[in-house]
Structures are given as structure tokens and as C-alpha cells.
Amino acid sequence: MTVSETAGAASFSKLGFAKGQVIQEFGYDDDVDDDLRFGLEDVIGTELEDEDFNDGADGVLLWYRDGDDDLVDLMVDGLTKLFDQGFIVLLTPKAGRPGHVDAAVVEEAASTAGLTTGGQVNVAREWAATRLMPPKGPRR
């Protein structure tokens, strides 16, 4: 499968990714879509940073499946890494796939974490992406 079959530059742009951004990845496991990851790295022009990265990030890529750690806690952890105007893209398995997360669960977790959702985008055969935005204004 090629990147164009998973997520093209237009999908990444719609989610807020752009050349030169620092993107930190959480929730990497053996079920992630590597074509999607490599396509994103092509768009931003560098490799994704792992969970141990300690500098600020322009965005966070968060892979999440039903049964993983608490979603609110993971969202808040992602928020602490973001520069102002940063964003989180939550990747969850699509409906009918193992680990699927109901949209209502995502909405509730986002609201509890102080985030708003920007709609879901199909980015890969097995994964859907939801853009999460913190409230406007500087964060601590």
C-alpha cells in the first residue's frame, strides 16, 4: 500500500500538519499504520519525535485504542508538550476494527481535557483521525 492509498498531503494539511513542524508521537505500537507515519514525516520534513522527547512540539500524534491507558490523561500529557497554537491529532481504529473507540467517548474525553474536536478524517484503511484543539490563548 502506498502513502497515496492511506493519506495524502491534502489529508495531512486538513489536520494541520505542515513542513517544518515538530510532531511528537504517543501510543506507538505494532498495529500503527507505518505508511501513514512515513507519509506524515514526508510532509513535515523530519522524523516524528517519540514519547521521551522533552522539548515543545507543534503537534502531537496520539494513537489510541479501546483498552489503552486513560484517554483524558493521555490528552492532557499531549497538551503539556505543545507550543501555543499547537494541536493534537487522535488516531483511533475505525468502527468494526479491534480497539474501536466510540465518538462519544472521544468527545467526552476531549471536553474533560479542555479540548475541542475538529471532526474526524479517514486517514488510513484501519485508522481515523480527529483533530483536537486546546482553548485559544497562552497555556502554562
Q: For the residues of 2-38, what is the DSSP string, one character each?
A: -HHHH--HHHHHHHT--TT--EEEE---TTS-HHHHH
In this predicted structure, the answer to whether residue 139 has a pLDDT above a threshold of 80 is no
For the record, the C-alpha cell of 2 comes out as 502506498
Between residues 95 and 11, the one the model is more confident about: 95
pLDDT above 90: percentage of residues in the chain: 75
The per-residue pLDDT for 9 is 64
Average pLDDT, integer, range 23-43: 95
In this predicted structure, the answer to whether residue 65 has a pLDDT above a threshold of 60 is yes
Average pLDDT, integer, range 96-106: 95
**CA 61, CA 120: separation in Å to the nearest integer?**
14
pLDDT above 70: percentage of residues in the chain: 90
Average pLDDT, integer, range 6-25: 83
Binning pLDDT at 50, 70 and 90, where does residue 8 land?
low
Q: State the amino acid at position 120 in one-letter form.
A: Q
Average pLDDT, integer, range 39-59: 95
